[in-house]
Amino acid sequence: MTKTITGFSKLSKSEKIDWLVSTYFTDSKSAKTLLKQYWNANEKLQQLHDEFIENTITNYYLPLGVAPNFLINNKLYTIPMAIEESSVVAAASKAAKFWYDRGGFKAEVISTQKIGQVHFMYHGDVAKLNQFFTTLKPKLIEDSKSITKNMEKRGGGILDIELKNKTQDIEGYYQLHATFETLDAMGANFINSCLEQFAKTLKNQAQCFDLFSAEEKDIEIIMSILSNYVPDCLVRAKVSCKVEELTENPNISAQEFAEKFVQAVRIAEVEPFRAVTHNKGIMNGIDAVVLATGNDFRAVEAGVHAYASRHGKYSSLTHAKIEDGIFTFWIEIPLALGTVGGLTKLHPLVRLALELLGEPSAKELMQIVAVAGLAQNFAALRSLTTTGIQEGHMKMHLMNILNQFEATSEEKVKLVEYFKTNTVTHSAVVEEIEKLRH
Ligand code: MEV
């Protein structure tokens, strides 16, 4: 059994690696070489990455791809996507081109409110607490002025603070439930700083509120934190066209395709097992853009899936209908994104991604990300309801299998050509490699 180590974070990067490779790896020399191979030769750039987190030992690469031809609200975008899954960028590009020829995507931001809460315990007279809150509220806002003044200058800040009685769920449990407008910032630091100030003011003011008994004055703050559930930071994106414009596939009529597609969406609306996979496909597109633009994909994931369950049952994030011969397909999702702050100025590739998108505002980025999710879902459902998913997926996965077998460039050219007309399966590829090599 390996021993624990104290003071690991204080070691230099090289010392950390030395401890790691000698403790965990039989071939410590190769492990060390591999870790160093991924260091950037540009020392300043490497240091920047080292300092993003604690205990950095190397970099972990993901491909950054682009999907061109996205027409969104009549503006053309090439969308950056950071993702490892073979078929995602190809699928997005295909869907972009398909809808470019049919008028593109339309997107609109519905709301941009974010939420944060101070969770606290109070065991006393509720009427007195309500009375206290009316005097407290202006003080909460006043005491946070030093935090909010810059945001206010730009038109954002605290929108409202409510007192919420949650004693039906937990005895003595109340909240300060605050709403914020954080403009182009994702706003986590801003919101959390405001909330921590609210908590201090709440605690202090309670001590001086004359109507409270000694026990009532002793409000216990449990925690102050933003919520990643943002149902009022909502964006909608849609595509639509005449049903007869819908298919390029000679094996299925446009009407049949449209009906099958709508049915597939309905299944995801009512059947959670399908909805999870359906939404996972949407998140393939969303996460890839969120990551490429330096946003917090864990926050987005958590918020989006909570939204997908808002009616008490996990359901599809997209919807589709055919009405008067018009096919419409749309998505509605909560997205708390930022185009300033966080990694946006720090990570050179994030800066590049944002420049590629034309330096969007947070609202514009919400629209782009929602479209990426919708496009991804369209591509997945189109394959699923026609050819099946494996045809396209395995075509894209072919390169991974070839790399796994260390195929030479010459072998790759031959095998890619061969599999243009043959079905890709793992065993078929292995068989063809072996044939070539013997
Ligand atoms: C694979 O990453 C995503 C899909 O499974 C999505 C779907 O089934 O809709 C293809």
Q: What is the pLDDT of residues 255-289, one digit of tens each?
A: 999 999 999 999 999 999 999 999 999 999 999 99
Domain assignment of residue 283, given as a range: 64-110+234-387
Instruction: Report the distance separating Cα 201 and Cα 143, nearest Å.
Output: 7
Instruction: Report the distance separating Cα 358 and Cα 89, nearest Å.
Output: 20
The answer to whether 189 touches 114, Cβ cutoff 8 Å, is: no
Q: Are residues 186 and 245 in the same domain?
A: no
Gyration radius (Cα) of the chain, Å: 27
315 inside domain: yes
Name the domain boundary from 387, 404, 423: 387
Name the domain boundary from 227, 249, 277: 227
Q: Are residues 281 and 341 in the same domain?
A: yes
Instruction: Report the distance separating Cα 347 and Cα 46, nearest Å.
Output: 11
Instruction: Report the distance separating Cα 384 and Cα 381, nearest Å.
Output: 5
Q: Are residues 100 and 212 in the same domain?
A: no
Is residue 248 scored above 80 in pLDDT?
no
Name the domain boundary from 227, 251, 285: 227
Cβ neighbours of residue 398 under 8 Å, at least 6 residues apart? Answer: 415, 416, 419, 424, 429
33 inside domain: no
User: Which one from 13, 18, 85, 321 is the annotated catalytic residue?
Assistant: 85
Q: Are residues 169 and 211 in the same domain?
A: yes
Q: Are residues 281 and 380 in the same domain?
A: yes
399 inside domain: yes
CATH number of residue 203's parent domain: 3.30.70.420
The finding on whether 281 has its CB within 6 A of some atom of ligand 1 is: yes
CATH number of residue 270's parent domain: 3.90.770.10
Q: Which atom of ligand 1 approaches the CA of 268 most closely?
A: 9
Cβ neighbours of residue 53 under 8 Å, at least 6 residues apart? Answer: none
Confidence band (pLDDT; 50, 70, 90) for 389?
A: confident
The finding on whether 318 has its CB within 6 A of some atom of ligand 1 is: no
* Cβ atoms within 10 Å of 273's Cβ, excluding its own: 10
411 DSSP 8-state letter: H
Residue 194 alpha carbon to ligand 1 centre in Å:
40
Q: Are residues 301 and 339 in the same domain?
A: yes
Average pLDDT score over residue span 132-159: 98
* Cβ atoms within 10 Å of 325's Cβ, excluding its own: 10
Give the count of domains, the chain. 3
What does the mean pLDDT of the chain come to?
Answer: 96
Helices (H), 85-220: 88-100, 126-143, 145-153, 188-208, 214-217
Is residue 123 scored above 80 in pLDDT?
yes
Cβ neighbours of residue 257 under 8 Å, at least 6 residues apart? Answer: 246, 247, 249, 382, 385, 386
Q: Three-class SS of residue 404? A: helix
Q: Are residues 101 and 119 in the same domain?
A: no
Q: Are residues 123 and 78 in the same domain?
A: no
Q: Are residues 405 and 431 in the same domain?
A: yes
Q: Are residues 264 and 383 in the same domain?
A: yes
Least confident of 218-227, 245-254, 319-328, 345-354: 245-254
365 burial type by CB count under 10 A (0-12 exposed, 13-18 middle, 19+ buried): buried
Cβ neighbours of residue 382 under 8 Å, at least 6 residues apart? Answer: 95, 257, 261
Q: Are residues 239 and 219 in the same domain?
A: no
Share of the chain above pLDDT 70, in %: 100
412 inside domain: yes
Residue nearest atom 7 in ligand 1 by C-alpha distance:
278
C-alpha distances in angstroms, 234 versus 28, 113, 331?
Answer: 50, 8, 10
Instruction: Report the distance separating Cα 214 and Cα 220, nearest Å.
Output: 13
Q: Are residues 266 and 377 in the same domain?
A: yes
Confidence band (pLDDT; 50, 70, 90) for 1?
A: low
CA dihedral 279, 285, 288, 291 (to 10 degrees): -70
User: Which one from 287, 393, 397, 432 is the annotated catalytic residue?
Assistant: 393
The finding on whether 284 has its CB within 6 A of some atom of ligand 1 is: yes
**Active site (annotated) includes residue 108:** no
Residue that has been written with the tokens 């509220």 in this structure: 137
Q: What is the pLDDT of residues 10-24, one digit of tens each?
A: 999 999 999 999 999
The answer to whether 230 touches 180, Cβ cutoff 8 Å, is: no
52 inside domain: no
Q: What is the pLDDT of residues 333-387, one digit of tens each?
A: 999 999 998 888 899 999 999 999 999 999 999 999 999 999 999 999 999 999 8
Angle at the Cα of 80 from the Cα atoms of 58 and 67, rounded to 5 degrees? 130
Is residue 391 scored above 80 in pLDDT?
no
The answer to whether 118 touches 144, Cβ cutoff 8 Å, is: no
CA dihedral 166, 168, 169, 172 (to 10 degrees): 60
User: Which one from 280, 305, 319, 414 is the annotated catalytic residue?
Assistant: 280
The tokens for 253 are 């009529």
Confidence band (pLDDT; 50, 70, 90) for 193?
A: very high
Q: What was the pLDDT predicted at 226? A: 98
Q: What was the pLDDT predicted at 396? A: 78
Average pLDDT score over residue span 85-113: 96
Residue nearest atom 1 in ligand 1 by C-alpha distance:
281
Q: Which atom of ligand 1 approaches the CA of 383 most closely?
A: 10
295 DSSP 8-state letter: -
**Active site (annotated) includes residue 393:** yes
Q: What is the pLDDT of residues 71-90, one digit of tens each?
A: 999 999 999 999 999 899 99
